[in-house]
Chain A
Amino acid sequence: SNSVKQTGQITVSEGASVTMNCTYTSTGYPTLFWYVEYPSKPLQLLQRETMENSKNFGGGNIKDKNSPIVKYSVQVSDSAVYYCLLCFGNEKLTFGTGTRLTIIP
């Protein structure tokens, strides 16, 4: 079965860089999506990582089953919940439980 693990909460100061991890188990190579949910807003797609474009994302590689998202020089407005989602073809969706990122001014 497929599963996704994300760090629950991260708090950093404004201007810092932050890495949010997404590690997963799967029986194949999925497409990986990152979504962000700002307060009182529904999900927004941030990025999509596949085997073809995996090397373009900072430190991420689908073969390693560890595809983090990195944000540099964060601002208070980056405070949100970030979800990692695995997708196999058009059938299976596996969501992580989300990382709540809090930026302190």
Chain B
Amino acid sequence: DADVTQTPRNRITKTGKRIMLECSQTKGHDRMYWYRQDPGLGLRLIYYSFDVKDINKGEISDGYSVSRQAQAKFSLSLESAIPNQTALYFCATSDRQRVTNEQFFGPGTRLTVL
């Protein structure tokens, strides 16, 4: 089974709708991240959480919110989706105990906003 899972894997929604993307991990890592990827660009950080009670904005947090329900779960919400939020969304985890702090990514959620 995958260590980092994301649901749904694909989603098509309409402008103005609220949508939630879920991320779960079984790696026991304390740190979790949400990124989006757009064609020709690298990963851009939306939000990150270093602990259950720690939530931080990334470089493109406007239009998004998150919830860290437990150490293993980190949800990303779009309160009112807009077309330029169409992208591939990745959740990642890392363990602060590891020397290189390598991030482990989920398989991605492809979101299309019509």
Contacts and interface: CB of A to CB of B under 8 A. Distances in A.
B42 A85 contact: yes
Contacts of A43: 33, 43, 45, 103
Contact of B58 (A8, A40, A42, A91): A42
Contact of B42 (A9, A81, A87, A99): A87
Contacts of A90: 37-39, 88
B50 A40 contact: yes
A12 B105 CA distance: 31
Contact of B100 (A33, A40, A81, A85): A81
Contacts of A33: 42-43
A89 B20 CA distance: 25
Interface residues of B, number: 21
A76 interface: no
B45 A42 contact: yes
A45 interface: yes
Contacts of A37: 101
Interface string A58-94: 0000000000000000000000010101010111010
A98 B101 contact: yes
